[in-house]
Amino acid sequence: MSVKPWGGAFDAQTDPRVEKFTESISFDSRLAAVDIRGSQAHARMLASVGLLTSDESRQIIETLAEIGGEIARGEMVWKTELEDIHMHIESALIARIGDVGRKLHTARSRNDQVSTDLKLYVRDSLTTIDGLLRELQRAFVDRCASDADVVLPGFTHLQRAQPVMAAHYWLAYCEKFQRDRERIADCLKRVNVLPLGAAALAGTSLPIDRHETARLLGFTGSSTSLSLEPAVAANSLDVSSDRDFLAESIFDLSLIAVHLSGWAEEWILWCTTEFGFLKLPDAYTTGSSIMPQKRNPDVLELIRGKSARVIADVTQILTLLKGLPLAYNRDLQEDKLAFFDAIDTVQACLELAPSIVRYAMLKVETINARLEEGFLDATTLMEYLIGRGVPMRTGHEVVGKLVRLCESRQCKLADLSLAELQTAHEKIEAGVSDFIGVKNVVARLASFGSGGRIPVLQQVAAWTQRLTE
Ligand code: ARG
């Protein structure tokens, strides 16, 4: 009477409203391909331990492939009463090959199955994100060559601070995205541990070989499949409840979104008339329906705005997991919504970001016209004094007074005469002129990791190398 694979003990049909409330097929159908991959490996393992004949295993694997093709072509009709992707695929299998199909779910439950599916899906998705991050890094590194001679004001508190090479900005983002990539690689180590075979919560009395399944699915406990040691989750109760890998994936995605948002905000500021540092490519801006002159940075604004969703996804998954008793609870079905939203949002942003980075133009004339404003050389002048034995705090005070003098005269430090500089401190000599003015400053910011010409060129070379490996 019941179409439900679990309906044996039930004598009443499920209320259709309950079916509608409990279904996940409307969002987990996107797990179809990984569900099939997982089931095929499971069937192969079952045959290797004699729980299926090799003929049965082959039949299951081939039929699953056909079902996968049907789903990929959009031919499968989703039915609310079949709840989720796992039951759709299993029912389709049984409809085609009968009793042989009824053997596939041996020694597994949907609990370890959905976790396996998710891990396969997360692995593929994070690998895609890693590739996109790399592309974005490439876009920034390529800019370093085209903007090789450009110097920008660096800011703290959004106040002009010290000058840095434009490439220093670009590589700052490369560093952030590199840490994001490292976080992904680290997260993948825990993603790559096999849940399947934990069954519902207690494991199984059947003689399965989970290490074989792990090997077949490339679960090797490392971020690359170079290591051949299979990695298998060692506690079946933990498997049924563990969504740590989703929580950390979503967090990793949220930090990428936050990095993108900071970059977007910066460039939005830079393309205002007030800053005038940057012109965004027309193809990535939009116009106003009333103001003909407008070129709005909507894409950057949405990249900034969409980070809110990914941050909310972190809150969603943590709140979902908080206070769940062992082992599986149906609450966990909602985990996918958080992950899918996070991955889709970040992927969409990362697909557009590299082109914006590549095709935006620095307005070098505007930048240069105001580069000597804001005393970007004050700190280096203080360092000149330190180099001549003046205590740092004294140097700070001396330059502070010189800045005040300049402010009262509306001039730059470079406009002061040597005699005026010397009245501020007797250690100042003619050579001081090599420490004043933006050009001199970027020549002097030379220590490792600084924003001056020499260390930045070294970093550009290192990054170019790193991204071509
Ligand atoms: N659709 C379910 C989920 O996403 C699959 C697992 C169902 N398990 C169960 N015992 N009802 O979590």
97 touches 220 (CB < 8 A) = no
Give me 8's structure tokens.
Answer: 């044996």
Instruction: Output the domain CATH number for residue 298.
Output: 1.20.200.10
The least confident of 11-20, 72-81, 118-127 is 11-20
Q: pLDDT value at position 346?
A: 98
Instruction: Tell me the pLDDT of the chain averaged across its residues.
Output: 96
* Last residue within a domain, chosen from 334, 368, 402: 368
Answer yes or no: is the C-beta of 111 below 6 A from any ligand 1 atom. yes
Output the CA 331–ligand 1 centroid distance in Å.
Answer: 9
Model confidence pLDDT, tens digit, residues 398-412: 999 999 999 999 999
Higher pLDDT, 306 or 9: 306
Q: Is residue 192 part of a domain?
A: yes
Q: pLDDT value at position 117?
A: 98
* Last residue within a domain, chosen from 368, 390, 411: 368
Answer yes or no: is the C-beta of 129 below 6 A from any ligand 1 atom. no
* Last residue within a domain, chosen from 312, 333, 368: 368
The least confident of 65-69, 190-194, 195-199, 219-223 is 219-223
34 touches 113 (CB < 8 A) = no
Are 342 and 362 in the same domain? yes
Residue nearest ligand 1's atom 3 by CA: 333
Are 194 and 343 in the same domain? yes
Are 134 and 200 in the same domain? yes
Instruction: Output the domain CATH number for residue 427.
Output: 1.10.40.30
Are 436 and 295 in the same domain? no
288: confidence class by pLDDT, cuts 50, 70, 90? confident
Report, as an integer, the average pLDDT of 170-192: 97
What is the helix (H) or strand (E) element at residue 265, kind and residue range? helix 244-270
Peptide bond into 430 cis (omega under 30): no
Report, as an integer, the average pLDDT of 235-254: 98
Q: Is residue 161 part of a domain?
A: no
Helix (H, G, I), strand (E, B) or coil at 64: helix
Output phi, psi for 27, to 5 deg.
Answer: -125, -20
Report the nearest atom of ligand 1 relative to the CA of 328. 10
Answer yes or no: is the C-beta of 114 below 6 A from any ligand 1 atom. yes
Q: pLDDT value at position 291?
A: 87
Residue nearest ligand 1's atom 11 by CA: 330
Answer yes or no: is the C-beta of 332 below 6 A from any ligand 1 atom. yes
Output the CA 31–ligand 1 centroid distance in Å.
Answer: 13
Answer yes or no: is the C-beta of 125 below 6 A from any ligand 1 atom. no
Q: How far apart (Å, rounded) are the C-alpha atoms in residues 102 and 5?
A: 9
Report the nearest atom of ligand 1 relative to the CA of 83. 1
Answer yes or no: is the C-beta of 116 below 6 A from any ligand 1 atom. no
Q: pLDDT value at position 292?
A: 87
Give me 121's structure tokens.
Answer: 């899906």
Residue nearest ligand 1's atom 7 by CA: 110
Residue 464 predicted with pLDDT over 60: yes
Residue nearest ligand 1's atom 12 by CA: 333
Residue 16 predicted with pLDDT over 90: yes
227: confidence class by pLDDT, cuts 50, 70, 90? low
Indicate if the alpha-carbon torsion angle 419, 421, 425, 429 is positive or negative: negative
Are 60 and 142 in the same domain? no
Answer yes or no: is the C-beta of 31 below 6 A from any ligand 1 atom. no
Are 435 and 451 in the same domain? yes
Answer yes or no: is the C-beta of 333 below 6 A from any ligand 1 atom. yes
Report, as an integer, the average pLDDT of 263-277: 98
Q: Is residue 2 part of a domain?
A: no
Residue 469 predicted with pLDDT over 90: no
Q: pLDDT value at position 4?
A: 80
Report, as an integer, the average pLDDT of 327-340: 98
Catalytic residue among 54, 225, 288, 433: 288
Q: Is residue 1 part of a domain?
A: no
pTM: 0.96
Are 55 and 186 in the same domain? no
Q: How far apart (Å, rounded) are the C-alpha atoms in residues 245 and 184?
A: 11
Q: Is residue 51 part of a domain?
A: yes
Model confidence pLDDT, tens digit, residues 29-39: 999 999 999 99
Output the CA 111–ligand 1 centroid distance in Å.
Answer: 6
Q: How far apart (Å, rounded) are the C-alpha atoms in residues 34 and 50?
A: 24
164: confidence class by pLDDT, cuts 50, 70, 90? very high
Q: pLDDT value at position 287?
A: 87
Q: Is residue 347 part of a domain?
A: yes
The least confident of 2-11, 102-111, 200-209, 388-397 is 2-11
Output the CA 442–ligand 1 centroid distance in Å.
Answer: 60
Output the CA 86–ligand 1 centroid distance in Å.
Answer: 9
What is the helix (H) or strand (E) element at residue 341, kind and residue range? helix 335-359
Domain that holds residue 117: 111-155+166-368
Q: How far apart (Å, rounded) are the C-alpha atoms in residues 300 and 280?
A: 10
Give me 275's structure tokens.
Answer: 């800053």
Q: Is residue 197 part of a domain?
A: yes
Catalytic residue among 86, 157, 225, 227: 157
Answer yes or no: is the C-beta of 328 below 6 A from any ligand 1 atom. yes
Instruction: Output the domain CATH number for residue 72.
Output: 1.10.275.10
Answer yes or no: is the C-beta of 460 below 6 A from any ligand 1 atom. no
Residue 102 predicted with pLDDT over 60: yes
Output the CA 112–ligand 1 centroid distance in Å.
Answer: 9
Output phi, psi for 124, to 5 deg.
Answer: -60, -45
Are 342 and 265 in the same domain? yes
Q: pLDDT value at position 1?
A: 44
Indicate if the alpha-carbon torsion angle 288, 258, 331, 340 is positive or negative: positive
* Angle CA 39–42–46, to nearest 5: 140
Output the CA 345–ligand 1 centroid distance in Å.
Answer: 25
Q: pLDDT value at position 273?
A: 96
Tokens 């299998």 sit on residue: 93
Residue 264 predicted with pLDDT over 70: yes
Q: pLDDT value at position 6?
A: 87
DSSP secondary structure string for all residues of 365-416: HHHHHTTTTT-TTHHHHHHHHHHTT--HHHHHHHHHHHHHHHHHHT--GGGS
Catalytic residue status for 42 = no
The number of CA neighbours under 13 Å toward the Cβ of 340 is 13
Give me 23's structure tokens.
Answer: 């279904």
Are 193 and 45 in the same domain? no
* Angle CA 465–225–85, to nearest 5: 120
Number of domains in the chain: 3
Q: Is 374 left (phi over 0), alpha (psi -120 to 50) or beta?
A: left
Are 228 and 348 in the same domain? yes
Of 333, 337, 340, best ligand 1 pocket probe by most atoms within 8 Å of the beta carbon: 333
Q: Is residue 160 part of a domain?
A: no
Answer yes or no: is the C-beta of 121 below 6 A from any ligand 1 atom. no
Are 91 and 182 in the same domain? no
Catalytic residue status for 54 = no
Report the nearest atom of ligand 1 relative to the CA of 200. 10
Output the CA 116–ligand 1 centroid distance in Å.
Answer: 12
Are 145 and 281 in the same domain? yes
